[in-house]
Structure 1
Amino acid sequence: MGRFMIHIELHKASSEVYNKLHEVMYNIEAFQVIQDIDTKEFFNLPRSQYHYIGLIENKEDILDLVRQTIKYVSQDFKIVVTGNDGSAWVGLDKV
């Protein structure tokens, strides 16, 4: 099972465009929350940060999926995908 953190930057995008981005990312099961494995609590990620856990195990494949997905929202974007075998954070708000 693949685990990835995905960061997307849309250039010159309105709040409405970002809302559409959140919707299309949700459709590919990339969510704006992360779960603490010890407490089972969920935390909100910063804007344009997504957490994916799923069947895709290769970062190039998840990058391609994200690219193909968001091109319907914006043509001017940057994407960073990192493999994630665990996370640490501070300052995130609980859901």
Structure 2
Amino acid sequence: MAPFHVYDGHHLLASTQEALYDLALSGHKIAAKKILSAPGHYLGDALLVGSTIMFVAGDDKGEQSLYTLPVTGGTEKRVYQFPANTTAGVNILGTADAS
């Protein structure tokens, strides 16, 4: 599959607790494509950096890590594990809900 352009106004990044999706907008229709499935993990903040998605994921042990993933999908790569016993959720700056 050819890579898509995230910043062209026709694609959005969305997540559920265990998956990341590319939402393609066409007129009044939206098509969702799953680009990452992570059963047993909690996916937190995600941010697009060029053609790479950076996201935080936690596991059932309470450990949180920072991962990267190409926007075209594929295999995620853990790039950092936050210190054990992090008591609050880890947020990528600029993406946390301010409410």
Give TM class, smaller chain.
0.3 to 0.5
* More contact order relative to length (CA 8 Å, sep ≥ 6): 1
Instruction: Calculate the TM-score normalised by the size of structure 2.
Output: 0.32
Greater Cα radius of gyration, structure 1 or 2: 2
Instruction: Calculate the TM-score normalised by the size of structure 1.
Output: 0.33
More helix by share: 1
